[in-house]
Amino acid sequence: MDYRSTNESVPKTSSALNKAKYSIKDLERLSGVKAHTIRIWEQRYNLLSPTRTDTNIRLYNDVELKQLLNIASLIKSGFKISHLSKLTTSEISEKISHCIEQPNSEDQYLNAQSDSLVIAMLDLNDQLFESTIRDASNKFGFEKTMLYVIIPFLSKVGIMWRTGEVGVIQEHFISNLIRRKMIVAIDEVSAIETTSDDVYLLFLPEGELHELGLLFSNYLIKSKGKRIIYLGQTVPFDDVVKFCTEFNPKYLLTFFTAAYSPETIENYLLDLIQHVPETTLLIAGNQLKEISFQQNDKIKLLGSPNDLLEILES
């Protein structure tokens, strides 16, 4: 598996790919290469050819972003920029393939796979996505692939979405591919024997549609032999309360990703606690970063999947 967007050695050059939309700071954030270093590479090795605005601001396109991701991955594997700058696109692709097959370290491999998913998303390339996930899952299993390949990738997607670097089509394309993989993985662990009477109720509040985090939580909980009831997206508040009254789950787990105000989320959670005082709320999502909860042992903020794993294993 390599970073090429097609079976050809030359990347696609459609008008969409050639549209300059990334600043040098965007490239720094997505590739990990400092803006100062990128400028030096341009001047010394003619590595990238950005367009410039009327105010002399550099702008880069998808092809140049992918080229930089490839170069950054190879440098992490020990190659020198002076050597890489002399290679053709085809030769760089061959070296990428070799490094993925025989990485210098596990971290380099996982970072390369995450970058590969960025390219698969930009090119709407489901074959590259499939080969990337299959290769990582064969080496490390699905859980580690999610934790160290897909979740870091989704963090990049979130940044690119907020800055307008990823469109609705690309975001839906990659989300649906990941969703399909998670559903298959959930089916595979559903046969694990339940070892606890504690019930985990998973749902998204009304208006919440982004289900990937909830699905992965479903997988983790099932894989640890816990009982789970999955209600899915956009569940009305009254229905959540009604279910809790009837079945008395020990935990409610939900995510907040929609553009609610901090006050709206906080009021929602405090209202929920009043209605289900015996239940612990496990909450996650980017929207929670701006909320400072008062001390409450019935609300546990999950900053990462590892926080959920600690609860499952305790």
How does pLDDT run across 30-56, given as a tens digit for each residue?
A: 788 888 999 988 888 888 888 888 888
DSSP 49: -
The token duo for 221 is 């909980």
Give the single-character DSSP code of 50: -
**Which tokens sit at 36?**
């100062």
Question: Which pLDDT score, from 0 to 100, does residue 129 have?
Answer: 92
CA distances from 22 to 42, 62, 63, 123, 207 (A): 15, 8, 11, 16, 31
Task: Write down the residue that tokens 């995450």 correspond to.
Answer: 114
| pLDDT of the residue at 99 | 63
pLDDT one-digit tens code per residue, 159-216: 777 666 677 888 889 999 999 999 999 998 887 877 777 889 999 998 888 888 999 9
Give the pLDDT score at 106.
76
Torsion of CA 166, 169, 171, 177, to 10 degrees: -140
Domains of the chain, first to last: 15-185 (1.10.1660.10), 192-313 (3.40.50.280)
pTM (two decimals): 0.67
Residues 6+ apart with CB under 8 A from 117: 129, 132, 149, 150, 153, 174
Q: Please name which of 64, 78, 250, 90 lies closest in space to residue 165, comparing C-alpha atoms.
A: 64
pLDDT of residue 105: 65
Taking 3-state DSSP, the helix, strand and coil percentages for the chain, each rounded to the nearest 5, stand at 60, 10, 30
Arithmetic mean of pLDDT, 80-93: 82
**% of the chain with per-residue pLDDT over 70:** 85
What is the predicted pLDDT for the residue at 162?
62
Q: How does DSSP classify residue 54?
A: T
Angle, helices 151-162 vs 24-31, to 10°: value is 170
pLDDT at 12 (0 to 100): 39
- Cα–Cα distance, 119 to 128 (Å, whole number): 8
DSSP output for 74-110: HHHTT--HHHHTTS-HHHHHHHHHHHHHS-SSHHHHH
pLDDT, tens digit (0-9, with 9 covering 90-100), for 215-261: 999 999 999 888 899 999 999 999 999 988 888 899 999 998 876 77
Tell which residue, 139, 155, 129, has the closest CA to residue 101: 139
CB 93 within 8 A of CB 4: yes
Coil, strand or helix at 165: coil
Q: Is the pLDDT of residue 3 over 50?
A: no
